[in-house]
Structure 1
């Protein structure tokens, strides 16, 4: 195969964004370019490689077998480039090392503070940059090298391509309300449609689990459903209303302990799922990252009374 050497970063960036979203329109919007422009960029890349990477159709785009292979190596290439840029930036700052860690809000409010405290107590010198956001977005950032690791829920198979996952503990969702809420005296999921319900948005990692819970309990339409991933909004709204907030236990663990929120005593075991560490599959990780992972594991072990911990952790 004769490959044109004129492949540029913009080609890889466009291709990876299209591959992630499987939509030229959505990828163009994410990169702030027009759809014709991103289509031309993809066509240029295919011409330089001499293969078809994607099949276009009315339903969007789909990766070809060659496209799947190229996505793997394109992701590694972009990640390596980002690491090189980070290395130059750190050298310009006098050698200061920066570790960028992605964390779902549930772990950012529970396990991560303990891990960071342990890491700093041990006197490690790297600066930590803790980034929160939706699980899919964080995993995309990990794949392209913007993050070194992500602590959160196990992503779906498509989101985990090129990544490895090690389970640390298990977590389920909670239904939380203000203290004194009427449902606390008579907890019944069948009455959920009578209240405003704060519901995880489509991008949230727990959304499929919550939908499973709703279906399993025979709950139909929620007429006053508000979809949100904002924990600040959730806390403020639930404390000042009779709304019910469906959220990961880790997000509200401190609120429940302090008594500012109350958990409905209903069975949500069907939402139990693994929480763990995601990293790029073919990288061992820097020494500083491995030291942070050690602190993270110690933090999980110290929280055994509060978490459903994997015995192998």
Structure 2
């Protein structure tokens, strides 16, 4: 007989309880069985594994090297089994699917945190995330191909017929890498010097690009001849770090790099100009349970306990 077939759940439960308690007697009390029954179960498990799992002493028991190795297998296996049983009992495995549109303004911080929170609470939930310009994503929301769209949307001309819920106010940042020459530039000269360097901007005809253009106009800065226009935060970040580029970025995209000291912010007039980050839904379609979970998670993460 395969020795694996002789290992039962009661063997694993008993082993884990003894390892946790460090005592056969305390494990027996916790399992509500007799001490001889615990000892017998452990002997059966050790015989099946052909390994000694515990050293017995007057003060209790301690794991052997083999016992520690088995603990790293048995513990996670039992946890996974319990989670699976719980998901069946609560129909969690039927959680369904969330189809989310996410603008680049929220893809670095807010959306990953929201997904992590949802998956920690709803084991069977499948989440698909699509990026792109607001006009494209809102069009898919209107045709019921997406459940929700998250991002800087308040000024979009494509919101007609859709419901927008404000989550927090956002601000554009002007950032460069830590060795950029502009970091030593006097504030009064900074606007005139920006055009000396390549600039990273959002794509034309997007809401966030309108804010970026307004920022440059208000500060008196000109548009440089060399530009990278993209909605990819990954590309924009990599280019900014490897070149003397100036990146006009949403706060979400550069928050981590500013905290870690990878990027530095330039103080430019109009620096706090921004928009409203929120979540957009389609009132013409019935809201799925996963979409409601998503809304609740977004409100929780941004401190909005009730819809606005």
- TM-score, shorter chain, exceeding 0.5: yes
1:38 corresponding residue in structure 2: none
CA offsets, 1:257-276, max 9 Å, x none?
22222211224345221110
TM-score, with normalisation over the residues of structure 1? 0.62
Give the equivalent residue in structure 2 for 1:50: none
Match of 1:108 in 2: 107
| 1:216 pairs with one of 215, 218, 226 | 218
Residue 151 of structure 1: aligned partner: 150
Q: Which whole-Å deviations, capped at 9, do the CAs of 1:133-175 have from their partners, x for residues lacking one? A: 2222111111111110001112556411221101000101111
Separation in 1 of the partners of 2:289 and 2:94? 15
Q: Give the gaps of 5 or more residues in structure 2.
A: 1-92
Contact residue 200 and residue 247 of structure 2 kept, 8 A: yes
- Which deviates more from structure 2 when the two are superposed, residues 164-173 or residues 131-140? 131-140
Q: Distance between the aligned counterparts of 1:295 and 1:245, measured in 2?
A: 30
Matched position secondary structure for 1:206: helix
- Counterpart for residue 60 of structure 1: none
Rounded to whole Å, the distance in 1 between the matches of 2:163 and 2:240 is 37
Select the residue among 169, 173, 194 that pairs with 2:196.
194
Determine whether 1:123 maps to 2:122. yes
The answer to whether the 8 Å contact 1:106/1:251 transfers is yes
Instruction: Indicate which of 225, 228, 231 corresponds to 2:227.
Output: 225
Secondary structure at the counterpart of residue 152 of structure 1: strand
- After superposing on structure 2, the runs of 4+ consecutive aligned residues of structure 1 that deviate more than 3 Å are 155-158, 267-270, 309-313
Looking at structure 2, the residues matched to 103 and 246 of structure 1 have their Cα atoms a distance apart, in angstroms, of: 19
CA contact (8 A) 1:173 1:268 kept: no
**Is 1:205 aligned to 2:207, yes or no?**
yes
Q: Tell me the SS of whatever aligns to 2:248.
A: strand
CA distance in 1, matches of 2:298, 2:123: 14
Paired residues, number:
213
State the SS of the aligned residue for 1:223: coil
Gap change, CA 1:311 and 1:273, over 3 Å in 2? farther
Alpha-carbon contact 1:105-1:132 (below 8 Å) kept? yes
Query: What secondary structure, in the 3-state scheme, does the structure 2 residue paired with 1:128 have?
Result: strand
Is the contact between residue 200 and residue 228 of structure 1 (CA under 8 Å) also seen in structure 2? yes
The answer to whether the 8 Å contact 2:176/2:246 transfers is yes
> Distance between the aligned counterparts of 1:158 and 1:174, measured in 2?
23
1:35 match = none
How far residue 311 of structure 1 moved from its aligned partner, in angstroms, is 9.7
Gapped regions of structure 1 (runs ≥ 5): 1-93, 302-308
Taking a change above 3 Å as real, the CA distance of residues 152 and 174 of structure 1, as seen in their structure-2 partners, is: same
C-alpha change, 1:246 and 1:269, in structure 2 (3 Å) is closer
Specify the SS of the correspondent of 1:271.
coil
Q: Quickly say closer, same or farther: Cα 1:97–1:311, change in 2 above 3 A.
A: closer
Q: 1:271 to 1:123 in 2, by over 3 A?
A: same
User: Which protein has the larger Cα radius of gyration, Structure 1 or Structure 2?
Assistant: 2
| CA positional deviation for 1:230 | 2.4
C-alpha distance in 1, partners of 2:293/2:107? 18
Distance in 1 (CA, whole Å) between partners of 2:205 and 2:184 is: 33
